[in-house]
Amino acid sequence: MRQDHIISAKQLSRADIEEVLDRAADIAADPGAFADRHDDALLGLLFFEPSTRTKMSFTAAMKRLGGDVVDMGTVESSSVKKGESLADTVRVVEGYADALVLRHPSEGSAKMASDYVDVPLINAGDGAGQHPTQTLLDLYTIRENAGFDDLTIGIMGDLKYGRTVHSLAHALTEFDARQHFVSPESLQLPRSVRYDLHEAGADVREHTSLEPVLSELDVLYVTRIQAERFPDESEYREVAGEYQIDAGTLADAKDDLTVMHPLPRVDEIDHEIDATEHAKYFQQAHNGVPVRMAILDMVLEGER
């Protein structure tokens, strides 16, 4: 893989993805071997939206490689509020760092910003757009737990607004996975995503209930249904309640079903599942470190 920028999971071929996952596996197996690999490198962090997992795991990843970060801080503490354009901000900050990570609320902002800079830029989420490093850590977690051979995955919850889900579904078409989408009717896949998956030759089915497909699944990927998507609180509660899982729900699942969630969760997965072998969502979050180390290692390597 030789990538100047990491903007979208769609830019990555199956070979690219496997190269990242293989390197991440090497890192996870022997992190000490990578501890001084990018000793003098600085990563610029530009987070225009709140983030815990993504920002902390990029920071940990860079520091586990021996490097360090230079953080813009919150929008409120920066000169962005003085009216500076994103193009100007990234052109300034590229002078302070060897690579940039950008999270921004506007779809397409990462691509636009990447056109202005010479250092590699990694998209850490652009609104309803892409979040490729999340997709890669999701794929890593799937490969680690279920493997890609003959994979059947269920993706449940908010399929309309969840960029994580769109990205993952698209990437899974590279691995010939059978995909079952489970959601309330009002939160089904957008037409454009459905079309896109169809074009990519995906094996996709849509459902309004988990029950009929649960027993076939190797992986169940749960996402949060947000109250603000519904006209009122009571309607939200009624709908959301049907897409929550607990130990009872999983009674009919395969013994080795892997349950994933991009986090934060609220009520979608009952806490009693945390202690079961199914629960891989914390491991999934932790996988952000080796996967982002692999990505940083590759883009910084390209810079040398």
Kindly list the catalytic residues: 53-54, 82, 103, 131
* Span from 18-26, 174-182, 183-191, 281-289 in contact with a copy of itself (CB under 8 A): 281-289
76/73 Cα distance (integer angstroms) = 8
Q: Does 304 bind a copy of itself (CB under 8 A)?
A: no
Q: Does 81 bind a copy of itself (CB under 8 A)?
A: yes
- For residue 76, the one-letter residue type is E
Name the residue nearer to a copy of itself (CB basis): 149 or 246. Answer: 246
Binding residue for a copy of itself, selected from 30, 76, 228, 232, defined by CB under 8 A: 76
216/220 Cα distance (integer angstroms) = 10
* Span from 10-18, 59-67, 147-155, 157-165 in contact with a copy of itself (CB under 8 A): 59-67
Write the binding mask 245 to 274 for a copy of itself: x where contact by CB under 8 A, - elsewhere. Answer: ------------------xxxx----x---
Q: Does 60 bind a copy of itself (CB under 8 A)?
A: yes
**Shortest Å, Cβ 81 to a copy of itself:** 7
Q: Which residues are annotated as a binding site for L-aspartate?
A: 82, 163, 224
Q: Does 78 bind a copy of itself (CB under 8 A)?
A: yes
Q: Do residues 94 and 120 lie in contact, with contact meaning Cβ atoms separated by under 8 Å?
A: no
What does the block give as tokens for 283?
A: 């491991």
Location of structure tokens 């056109």:
115
Binding residue for a copy of itself, selected from 25, 28, 70, 239, defined by CB under 8 A: 70
Pinpoint the alpha helices (H) of the chain. 14-29, 53-64, 86-93, 109-114, 132-145, 163-172, 191-199, 233-241, 281-286, 288-303
Compute how many residues bind a copy of itself; rule: CB under 8 A: 52
**Shortest Å, Cβ 251 to a copy of itself:** 24
Which residues have a Cβ under 8 Å from the Cβ of 91 and sit 6 or more positions away? Answer: 116, 117
Taking every pair of Cα atoms in the chain, the longest distance, rounded to a whole number of angstroms, is 56
Q: Which residues are annotated as a binding site?
A: 53-54, 82, 103, 131, 134, 163, 224, 263-264
**Shortest Å, Cβ 116 to a copy of itself:** 9
* Span from 90-98, 150-158, 215-223, 251-259 in contact with a copy of itself (CB under 8 A): 90-98
Q: Does 115 bind a copy of itself (CB under 8 A)?
A: no
Q: Does 52 bind a copy of itself (CB under 8 A)?
A: yes
**Shortest Å, Cβ 196 to a copy of itself:** 28
Question: SS in 3 state form for 200-239?
Answer: CCCEEEEECCCCCCHHHCCEEEECCCCHHHCCCHHHHHHH
- 76 C-beta neighbours (distance < 10 Å), count: 7
Q: Does 125 bind a copy of itself (CB under 8 A)?
A: no
217/181 Cα distance (integer angstroms) = 11
What is the edge-to-edge ordering of all strands in the sheet holding 203-207? Answer: 203-207, 178-182, 152-156, 219-222, 258-260
Q: Does 84 bind a copy of itself (CB under 8 A)?
A: yes
Which residues have a Cβ under 8 Å from the Cβ of 235 and sit 6 or more positions away? Answer: none
| Residues in contact with a copy of itself by the rule CB under 8 A | 32, 35, 40, 42, 44, 47, 50-53, 55-57, 59-60, 63-64, 68, 70-74, 76-84, 87-89, 91-93, 95-97, 263-266, 271, 282-283, 285-286, 288-289
